DNA sequence: TAAATAAAGTTGCTTTAAGAGACCAAATTA
DNA sequence: TAATTTGGTCTCTTAAAGCAACTTTATTTA
């Protein structure tokens, strides 16, 4: 039925999920990061229905994750390009990718080897760090004034 | 229709989204990180229908993101607790939260102030780093052998 | 110049999942 | 023993996903 929306939620995670938290949106952003820009390419790479792709692209453009620009080659053509807001999803995508690689590795295939252009070295494992740059887990954090929406506790 | 599933995808992002990429799963994990453990609490905090919550909890348990443990108080009681795999979603949640705070700030409310227990200081902004610990963006990365599933290019 | 092709949608129909709310069973407490 | 609490299940309605066919505009190709 109708997926609930969280536009007005006071939780920024819920608001973020409202924009890119459905099945396709993040995959579209991912492929845009790979360099995909055209409607037909998204469609073929993702195997997504055209009407759904239309809808998702339009919503991503509405939310300023993508921008639609004319690219006058061949038939009527457009390109969908990441905005700064869209590129800023890079840590989210990388965190998801690393989680997937760690906990659900492909049985046959090695994880994607992402490297930094400047050093030629693999990208580091993404982690949450404290002010001193030390990695921390969910057990290390707390909310000062216990102002957690709908809950009373502070960590797991 | 049926939301497509990606169990067998050779893309680890797709596989990750298959486990936590629907509207509710990540929010459930988020609240579990806040300390929520019981069915009724999830239900009230999230405002989710009970049958959907049942389904999502069962799936998260199947995928070993949560574990269901008996906690014999009151009526028949269980607790849903994060596994290590579930706690490992911390960077994903934090990355999403920070993206939401940056690009869709709540008009009235300050972003959630997450702090590190050890230092009392706020948690750092999460970022992708190269081997030297320098922050990098999506434009700085490439895939050595151009082995990108379904695509030909390497970055946006 | 006409026909064929391609890109980007749109429309209609079918299937599936989400949501609301009623109902239910086991253990607890009063 | 009766009322509650917890954690579900069942049914029904509605909305969204998927498929396939059709449209439109522009661009090649014949």
- Helix or strand or coil: residue B1? coil
Distance, in Å, from the CA atom of A10 to the CA atom of A41, rounded to the nearest integer, reads: 36
Chain A residues with CB inside 8 Å of B3's CB?
23
Going through A33-77 in order, the beta strands assigned E by DSSP cover 66-70
Q: Would the pLDDT of B57 be above 60?
A: yes
B147 touches strand D (CB under 7 A): no
Per-residue pLDDT at B81 exceeds 70: yes
Per-residue confidence (pLDDT) for residue B137, from 0 to 100: 98
**What are the phi and psi torsion angles at B141 (to 5°)?**
-105, 155
- What is residue A142's three-state secondary structure? strand
Residue B123 clears pLDDT 70, i.e. is over it: yes
- Alpha-carbon distances, residue A37 vs A57, A74, A83, B147 (angstroms): 11, 15, 12, 18
Whether chain A has a CB inside 8 Å of the CB on B123: the answer is: yes
pLDDT of B134-149, one tens digit each? Answer: 999 999 999 986 544 5
Q: What is the pLDDT of residue A1?
A: 39
pTM: 0.91
The model's pLDDT over B90-112, given as tens digits with 9 standing for 90+, comes to 999 999 999 999 999 988 889 99
Q: Do residues B132 and A117 make contact, with C-beta atoms less than 8 angstroms apart? A: no
- Tell me if B132 and A119 make a contact (CB, 8 A cut-off): yes
The strand D neighbours among B residues 99-138, by Cβ under 7 Å, are none
Strand-pairing partners, residue A80, are A68
Strand partners for A129: A135
pLDDT on residue A52:
94
User: Which distant-in-sequence residues (6+ apart) come within 8 Å of A62 by Cβ?
Assistant: none
Subunit contact B90:A27, Cβ cutoff 8 A: no
Contact between B113 and A144 using a beta-carbon 8 Å cutoff: yes
The C-alpha atoms of residue B39 and residue A19 are separated, in whole angstroms, by: 27
Chain B, nearest residue to A129 by Cα: B124
Give B55-108 as a DSSP string.
HHHHHHHHTTSEEEEE--SSSS-EEEEE-HHHHTTHHHHHHHHHHHHHHS--SS
Q: Count other Cβ atoms within 10 Å, centred on residue A149.
A: 14
- Distance (Å) from the C-alpha of residue A69 to the closest C-alpha of chain B? 15
Minimal CA–CA distance to A71: which of A115, A40, A94? A40
* pLDDT tens-place values along chain A, 156 residues long: 356 677 767 899 999 999 998 889 999 999 999 999 999 999 999 999 999 999 999 999 999 999 999 876 655 689 999 999 999 999 999 999 999 999 999 888 899 999 999 999 999 999 999 999 999 999 999 998 654 444 434 443
Indicate left, alpha or beta for B146 from its phi (over 0: left) and psi (-120 to 50: alpha): left
**CA atoms of A44 and B149, how far apart (whole Å):** 11
Number of Cβ within a 10 Å radius of residue B67:
15
Strand partners, A105: none
- C-alpha to C-alpha distance for A101 and A121, rounded to whole angstroms: 18
Tell me which residues of chain B, numbers 32 to 71, contact chain A at a CB-CB cutoff of 8 Å: 32-36, 41, 44-48, 64
Report the candidate in A26, A22, A31, A30 with the shortest Cα–Cα distance to residue A3. A22
């Amino acid at each position: 039925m109708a997926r609930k929306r969280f536009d007005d939620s006071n939780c920024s995670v819920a608001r973020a999920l409202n924009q890119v938290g459905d099945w396709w949106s993040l995959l579209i952003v991912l492929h845009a990061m790979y360099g995909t820009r055209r409607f037909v390419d998204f469609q073929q790479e993702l195997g997504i229905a055209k009407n759904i792709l239309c809808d998702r692209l339009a919503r991503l453009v509405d939310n300023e994750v993508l921008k639609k620009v004319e690219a006058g080659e061949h038939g009527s053509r457009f390109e969908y390009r990441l905005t700064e807001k869209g590129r800023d999803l890079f840590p989210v995508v990388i965190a998801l990718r690393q989680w997937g690689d760690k906990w659900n590795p492909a049985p046959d295939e090695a994880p994607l080897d992402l490297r930094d252009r400047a050093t030629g070295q693999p990208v580091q494992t993404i982690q949450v760090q404290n002010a001193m740059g030390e990695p921390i887990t969910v057990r290390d954090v707390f909310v000062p004034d216990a102002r957690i929406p709908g809950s009373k506790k502070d960590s797991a």
